[in-house]
């Protein structure tokens, strides 16, 4: 097979090398120039719970059994982890759980073992992508025997209804 323009290949390799070196140097220069300086971090404080979640938390606190603690905004990856030898690339399995949080977790007081996840469902949970996220989280929790209770946002909460629903979920998982 005859190579067309054989005298151009050295120039192509030299050009490619120059572009690669220039790209690496530019990347190094940009990382030096754009370092975040102390006191200039781009963060602001934010409440852990929205107003609706805070009202629900107040109602939940008095509805949880004495044997439990109520935690808020728990990362899903703190409740479950990727099994060793589960096949595939670790990050592929971790990524779907790593950045998701559940609203509330009822933990056993003596061991801090998660007993129940409680999700406060507002109107956003009717959106297709949010419903898919909820379904995925429920599947993950079911796979590790942690029940999930979904509760609609309300203006006021009736403690006896919450107690009944929580106890029913705990009994169904016992």
Task: Say if CB 169 and CB 147 are below 8 A apart.
Answer: yes
The domain total for the chain is 2
Question: Is residue 1's pLDDT more than 60?
Answer: no
- 5 has a pLDDT exceeding 70: no
Question: Does residue 81 sit in the same domain as residue 2?
Answer: no
CA 40/CA 63 separation, integer angstroms: 43
Residue percentage of the chain with pLDDT more than 70? 92
d(CA 22, CA 112): 54
Question: Sheet holding 114-121: strands in order across?
Answer: 68-75, 101-108, 114-121, 148-152
Report residue 12's pLDDT band, with 50, 70 and 90 as the boundaries. confident
Asked whether residue 150 falls in the same domain as residue 121, the answer is: yes
Interval 16-25: pLDDT, tens: 899 999 998 8
Average confidence score pLDDT of the chain: 88
Q: Which domain holds residue 113?
A: 51-173
Residue 42's pLDDT is 78
Contact 116, 105 (CB under 8 A): yes
Domain presence at residue 42: no
55 pLDDT above the threshold of 90: yes
Q: For 32-49, what is each residue's pLDDT tens digit?
A: 777 666 677 778 899 999
Q: Each residue of 94-116: pLDDT tens digit?
A: 888 999 999 999 999 999 999 99
Q: Do residues 88 and 142 share a domain? A: yes
pLDDT for the residue 16: 86
Round to whole Å and give the CA distance between 147 and 169. Answer: 7
**Integer Cα distance of 96 and 107 in angstroms:** 23
* Mean pLDDT lowest among 16-30, 44-58, 81-95, 159-173: 81-95
Residue 7, pLDDT > 80, answer no
- 167 within domain boundaries: yes
12 and 61 part of one domain:
no
Please, what's the b/e burial string for 92-123 (b: 16 or more CB within 10 A of its CB; e: otherwise)? Answer: eeeeebeeeebbbbbbeeeeeebbbbbbbeee
Which pTM was predicted? Answer: 0.74
Q: Same domain, yes or no, for 55 and 108? A: yes
pLDDT at 29: 82
Give pLDDT, residue 39: 72
Higher pLDDT among residues 87 and 147, named by residue:
147
| 148 and 71 fall within a common domain | yes
């Amino acid at each position: 097979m005859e190579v067309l323009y054989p005298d151009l290949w050295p120039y192509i390799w030299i050009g490619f090398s120059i572009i690669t070196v220039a790209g690496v140097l530019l990347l190094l220069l940009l990382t030096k120039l754009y370092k975040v300086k102390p006191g200039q971090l781009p963060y602001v404080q934010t409440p852990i719970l929205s107003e609706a979640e805070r009202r629900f938390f107040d109602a939940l606190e008095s509805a949880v059994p004495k044997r439990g603690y109520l935690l808020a905004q728990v990362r899903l990856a703190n409740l479950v982890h990727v099994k060793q030898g589960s096949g595939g690339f670790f990050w592929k399995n971790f990524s779907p759980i790593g950045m998701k949080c559940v609203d509330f977790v009822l933990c056993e007081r003596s061991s801090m073992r998660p007993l129940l996840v409680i999700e406060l469902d507002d109107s956003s949970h009717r959106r297709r992508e949010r419903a898919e996220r909820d379904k995925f989280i429920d599947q993950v929790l079911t796979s590790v025997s942690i029940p999930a209770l979904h509760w609609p946002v309300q203006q006021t909460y009736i403690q006896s209804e919450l107690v009944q629903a929580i106890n029913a979920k705990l009994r169904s998982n016992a």
